[in-house]
Amino acid sequence: MQKRTLGKSGLEVSALGLGCMGMSFSYGPPKDKQEMISLLRTAVERGVTFFDTAEVYGPFTNEELVGEALAPLRDQVVIATKFGFDTSVDPRAMKGSGPVLNSRPENIRQVAEASLKRLRIDVIDLFYQYRVDPDVPIEDVAGAVKELIQEGKVRHFGLSEAGVQTIRRAHAVQPVTTLQSEYSLWWRRPEAEMLPTLEELGIGLVAYSPLGKGFLTGKIDESTTFDSTDFRSTLPRFTPEARKANQAMVDLLGQIAAQKEATPAQVALAWLLARKPWIVPIPGTTKLNRLDENIGAVALELTADDLREIDSAAAQIKVEGARYPEKLEQMTNR
């Protein structure tokens, strides 16, 4: 597995990480614990060193799963987790008022202490603010994480779905190692302002949902039905009408994949990897064959001509549907 360094931080991780959320939360019922432990350990055997979780996944059960699975392999892995939600409120409340934010410094410290125990580690490698809390100055957030770093409880500070001015303000207090943002062929907003800012400041980008929450794999179409516990059932971009319209993007990936003797998912991931050397996608999966398929993307070389062809064709496709309901979208790019 190739390695990448996230910005100027010196944090080296595998070129492809593993998003662990779906093992416990959001994509239907929780998966079998022993199967997921086996999958996580197999990922390490395959060369994956970067694992992404959060207290809010479950809540708490995903951190516990990751902690149990990776405890024997601690010296081989980088574990990222997140703070920023009020976990006394059900995080699955995707409808109505939505999740409740809480990035007060005292909560950040409490989350860190609890996450260390659940993850069975003595230092959090990368600690993200999950969403920017408009009620807490970002300087206070960065200052709280800086204290945790000085105490040896956290190694690196990250932000998720933050706006460029917020990133600059936070970075002035405590250097930001990486920004986590949705980024894929069907969500390219980071390209306008975010990528130039990150490059200027020497901050890495961790791309979540690099396969469009599964859509870009080609295994979802307008007739697919989602379990009531699958949060995609609440997303405007996943209505049957939107899926039918957005099939054009999958068809494009399929055409390129056929030329490359690859899969649509591998092309989508290789496209991201080719954008910048400091971008690390973290596709999630609960299946070993998907894990291996995703890892195969690291070896897929897209030429400059391939990239121009993809970009030119993708520019002709209008992606239908908002990526989140309005309440959740309002929590991004602050």
Residue type, 281: P
Phi, psi of 158 (to 5 degrees): -130, 160
Burial (CB count within 10 angstroms: exposed 0-12, middle 13-18, buried 19+), residue 332: middle
> Is 57 among the residues known to form the active site?
yes
Of 57, 130, 183, 324, catalytic = 57
First and final CA of the chain: distance in angstroms? Answer: 35
Question: SS3 of 322, please?
Answer: coil
CB-hemisphere CA count at 13 Å for 33? Answer: 10
Angstrom CA distances, 192 to 62, 163, 182, 187, 195, stand at 33, 12, 14, 12, 7
Give the residue among 8, 76, 1 at the shortest CA–CA distance from 278: 8
CB-hemisphere CA count at 13 Å for 75? Answer: 0
Question: SS3 of 331, please?
Answer: coil
Which residues have a catalytic role annotated? 57
